[in-house]
């Protein structure tokens, strides 16, 4: 009788499910967020490059306004610090919610919410379509940073310039207005 145990085989690229402690599932997100009726509801993700380099991308669901953040690392401390600093620099009306995948980089979501007041929602495992706006934007960002690019070589200023190009690109879904026009009009109305 063999004492050896079988091993669970995973397909190449298959990831295990990560349990985010006290994470609010996307299904509890308000319908007005789903309907893109107000500004300040963001989708976020990481874009990874070679040599363990990463940038965070944030996209406002209503306006498609894009923010790119240079990260020191993919760990939850580095990501939390970068997101907290950026959200605290935004006007309060643009700090409503953030939808993220179940990656461990946002394990400190309660700390982030405590610091910023931004409610965090988590997608179902392996469901990138639940953050479709962000996935589309990451595709646009990949035009500037193809796969196998080391993202650490870019400064925050260079990332801001790329985000500015995306903010000033007319979008069919916005009736050919730019994300910058939509967000500036929305913020001006709340002042």
* 130-165 confidence digits (pLDDT tens): 787 888 899 999 999 998 999 999 999 999 999 999
Tokens 């069919």 found at: 172
Residue 107 lies in a domain: yes
CATH number of the domain that residue 134 is part of: 3.30.420.10
Evaluate whether residue 13 is within a structural domain.
no
Q: What is the pLDDT of residue 142?
A: 93
Query: Model pTM?
Result: 0.86
pLDDT tens digits for 78-123? 999 999 999 999 999 999 999 998 888 989 999 999 999 999 999 8
What domain range is 67 assigned to? Answer: 24-155+165-190
* Domain assignment of residue 57, yes or no: yes
Structurally, how many domains does the chain consist of? 1
| 86 within some domain | yes
Q: Is residue 15 part of a domain?
A: no
């Amino acid at each position: 009788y063999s004492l050896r145990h079988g091993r669970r085989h995973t397909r190449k690229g298959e990831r295990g499910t990560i349990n985010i402690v006290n994470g609010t599932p996307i299904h509890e997100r308000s319908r007005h967020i789903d309907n893109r009726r107000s500004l300040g509801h963001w989708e976020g993700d990481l874009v990874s490059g070679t040599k363990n380099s990463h940038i965070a991308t944030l996209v406002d669901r209503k306006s498609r306004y894009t923010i790119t953040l240079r990260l020191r690392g993919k760990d939850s401390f580095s990501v939390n610090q970068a997101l907290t600093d950026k959200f605290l620099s935004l006007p309060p009306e643009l700090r409503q919610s953030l939808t993220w995948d179940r990656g461990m980089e946002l394990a400190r979501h309660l700390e982030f919410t405590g610091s910023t007041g931004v409610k965090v929602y988590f997608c179902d495992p392996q469901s990138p379509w639940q953050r479709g706006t962000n996935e589309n934007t990451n595709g646009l960002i990949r035009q500037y940073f193809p796969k196998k690019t080391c993202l650490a070589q870019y400064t925050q200023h260079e990332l801001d310039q790329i985000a500015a190009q995306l903010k000033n690109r007319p979008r069919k879904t916005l009736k050919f207005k730019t994300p910058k026009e939509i967000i500036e009009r929305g913020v001006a109305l709340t002042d």
